[in-house]
Structure 1
């Protein structure tokens, strides 16, 4: 797993006006919460934006360099501008190595071309791109692979079809079988021979 470093500085000013002034200076206001008292911070906007483009950034443990001290955090929420590629606010959550965390992990659908449905001109449509997992920080996977090599025409892939690494649980499945949501389906395109 790649080690992402986010450089931040503490800030005392809070509120809309202070946040607006920070954004005009190219900074992104943020907050760190979790095991200790919440701390208002600011991050260099262009550095954060560059990290947001990296694969695995959202589902990784980040090293937050705050005024020269390092803390382990995850991205919990981002507020983005509706039309510009700009981040308006970032929420970070501190990590305790002994406590489980909930985080969205990307899904990677693999081996569809090996399925019998694919050989009969079927297509696969993904309905979900992430799944929320619960695990200790040391067990956090960068992605979850969904093996489609055995999918049949008309079949729906569910959360329960994801093979999970040891120590990782899907949050929705902890609530029972009724929460085993579909994450994609195999279908015959129009005009294909059945």
Structure 2
């Protein structure tokens, strides 16, 4: 699984004044939760670019004050006006402690419904899951091979080992719908038959 390394500096002062000062230096205030203790640190905005502005699920190895923390993104706050990074919360991965994370879906296989002329519509791009850190992966694979025309794949159809899916089981993830062309062809077929019968 992809991981990025972030070199952070320990924050000793918190509060609005201190965080404003950090932001003025292009530093993002951050907090690591979930471990033995909370760790407040700051790091340059550019250090988070490949972690924040991507749909991929990645680990973050954060080095602060001589210690290293394995983390995942927990929450991101952006400035409402400038859209710049305001604050990031990280969750430290502890071996025997389950974590809640959002994993992207990776669709595989060629749907029989699409081969029949239908159009694939994906309704969800990720799932919220709960698992131990060792079972975290870059994505959850969803096989579309048996998805038929006018068929749905729902959350309950996703099989992921050692992972508990927290989304509602009946929510559709992907479906294959009839295209306009296919509808027109189907509508035209009986009409031709009817014309033939009149002769």
TM-score scaled to structure 1, two decimals? 0.85
Checking the alignment, whether the CA contact within 8 Å between 1:81 and 1:87 is kept in structure 2 is: yes
| Residue 181 (1) aligns with residue 177 (2) | no
Q: For residue 50 of structure 2, give the secondary structure of its aligned residue in structure 1.
A: helix
Distance 1:81-1:109 versus aligned 2 partners, 3 A rule: farther
Aligned length: 184
Q: For residues 37 and 67 of structure 2, what CA distance do their matches in structure 1 show? A: 16
Q: For residue 180 of structure 2, give the secondary structure of its aligned residue in structure 1.
A: coil
Unaligned 5+ segments in structure 1 are 174-178
| Residue 3 (1) aligns with residue 3 (2) | yes
| Residue 157 (1) aligns with residue 147 (2) | no
RMSD (CA atoms): 1.9
Question: In the alignment, which residue of structure 2 is the partner of 1:135?
Answer: 131
User: Greater shift after overlay, 74-83 or 148-157?
Assistant: 74-83
From 180, 183, 186, the counterpart of 1:190:
180
Larger helix percent: 2
Q: What's the CA shift for 1:2?
A: 2.1
TM-score scaled to structure 2, two decimals? 0.83
Per-residue CA distance 1:58-110 (angstroms, 9 max, x = gap): x3332111122101111100112346563211001111101111100001122
Larger-gyration structure (1/2): 2
| Residue 168 (1) aligns with residue 163 (2) | yes
